Structure 1
Amino acid sequence: MDNHHPVTREVLHLFHAHGGSRYGGENVSQLEHALQAAYFAERDGAPSTLIAAALLHDVGHLLHDLPADAPDQGIDDRHETLGARWLASRFGPAVCEPVNLHVIAKRYLCAIDPAYFGLLSAPSIQSLALQGGPMNAEESRQFEQHPFHQEAVRLRRWDDAAKVEKLATPYVEHFAGHLDAAAAEGHGA
């Protein structure tokens, strides 16, 4: 692990320390969810920055001190904002912006794809209500103007799929090379 970028070492440590916590109301841990999203991104041929974003899209859940049942209490933890802020000092916009936009990408997909809502898990539907529900037409147009909106939509689809109990994925260390490349691209080596 010593030959990796300092940011990579920090991320690996964060997942080892906090990744075992439950991912909301789903039957996977935070680490399992992150690994599945990154695995799907890698399998789809995404660049290292987007694979890193997939791995780290919910890092805000590992950083806040709210209870795991915050949505049940009517609380939107704003994990995307917290995570993107934390990532901004470690990676460039190609990692941070898809993370920052992955929640509103769900709102966008609910607005433009009639079948999308039916794919959401119950906890994701619950959080959608807390996050503002489907976008209106003007919000959708504004979202489509963001330079990273397509990456956020790709990330969102991996996020939605990454809730499979006992799915075999590579270990977190497998993604260290992608984290190294993304950190070097974002802030220099």
Structure 2
Amino acid sequence: MANDDTPRVSFTRMKDGTREDYQLLGRLEEAYVEGLPERILAALRGLEHTLSGYRVSRLEHVLQSASRAEDDGEEEEMIVAALIHDLGDDLAPHNHSQYAASIIRPYVSARVAWVIEHHGLFQNYYYIHHFGGDPLERDRYRDHPWYQDCVDFCERWDQASFDPDYPTRPLEHFAPMVRRIFSRPPFDPGIIGEAPTSTPDRPKGG
């Protein structure tokens, strides 16, 4: 048990917790959540030392993706989405898209979250045939209203952002955007909006 002065609950099983216990936890969680933007930035810095073999680091890749999105005049939430789209590479290598979408979903439109959730499958278009896969598997979503948004995300920013000579902006440039997006009220209906009422089954990969 930690030897600090943090107040602690009285229970060892959640079903035994009192109102005072849960009010305490609520206050502590609220304070902890306020630090989310800085934890996101720290996780992004960690991408400097992850998957190798490309001509740029994973951090440079996401910074370049965000830089390209900004250069194309995209709104701030899509720029931040481009910045965090590969945060799952370390802990969720087989479903990194869903991992990143889960992180950003409470703070952005349903459209942006959908694009991030599916970008891995759509990105397969460029290389999966070299492993015997189907590059057109993304076409299961061809009738989805955000299909083209995800195609564009991959074509314009994701697959193109491995260029060591591109004028990529540093993380410090995007830090204020990260702080603004991840300080929004979570699951605000005015931000999230509504997802389409019917969509195809979610792909297993990505």
Query: Normalising by the residue count of structure 1, what TM-score does the alignment of the two structures yield?
Result: 0.66
Match of 2:49, SS state, is coil
Contact 2:47 2:87 in 1 (8 A): no
Structure 2 residue ranges without an equivalent (≥5) = 1-33, 192-206
Q: How many residues are treated as equivalent by the alignment?
A: 154
Q: After the TM superposition, which segments of 4 or more aligned residues of structure 1 sit over 6 Å from their partners? A: none
Q: Which has the larger displacement, 31-40 or 164-173?
A: 164-173
Matched, 1:50 2:48: no
- 1:37-57 CA deviation, whole Å, 9 max, x = no partner? 000000000111211111111
> How many Å separate the matches in 1 of 2:112 and 2:132?
22
**2:99 is aligned with 1:82:** yes
Unaligned 5+ residue runs, structure 1? 67-76, 111-119
Change (3 A) 1:146 1:176: farther
RMSD: 2.9
Counterpart contact for 2:44–2:84, Cα < 8 Å: no
Q: 1:145-160, aligned counterparts within 5 Å? A: 145-157=143-155, 158-160=157-159
Between the aligned partners of 1:23 and 1:130, the Cα distance in structure 2 is: 19
Structure with more helix by fraction: 1
Instruction: Give the structure 2 partner of residue 98 of structure 1.
Output: 115
Name 2:41's counterpart in structure 1. 12
Identical counterparts, % of pairs: 26
TM-score, structure 2 as length reference: 0.62
Q: How many angstroms apart in 1 are the aligned matches of 2:43 and 2:132?
A: 26
Does structure 2 conserve the Cα–Cα contact (< 8 Å) formed by 1:90 and 1:187?
A: yes
Letter in 2 for 1:154: D
Distance verdict in 2 for CA 1:6–1:155, change over 3 Å: farther
Cα 1:56–1:95, aligned 2, differ >3 Å: closer, same or farther?
farther
State whether residues 35 and 170 of structure 1, in contact with CA within 8 Å, keep that contact through their aligned partners in structure 2.
Answer: yes
Q: Flag the structure with larger Rg.
A: 2
SS in 2 for 1:19: helix
**C-alpha separation in 1, matches of 2:53 and 2:129:** 14
Tell me, in whole angstroms, the C-alpha distance in 1 between the residues paired with 2:132 and 2:176: 33
Q: Distance in 2 between matches of 1:131 and 1:82?
A: 25
Deviation readout 1:110-169 (Å, 9 max, x if unpaired): 4xxxxxxxxx4xxxx2x5656942226xx62x4133343232122202111100125432
Range with greater deviation from structure 2 (83-92 or 162-171): 83-92
Distance 1:14 1:175, change over 3 A: same
Bigger relative contact order, structure 1 or 2, given CA contacts below 8 A and separation 6+?
1
2:195 match: none
Secondary structure of 2:159's partner?
helix
> In 2, Cα distance between the equivalents of 1:132 and 1:78?
16
Mapped contact 2:63–2:171 kept (Cα < 8 A): yes
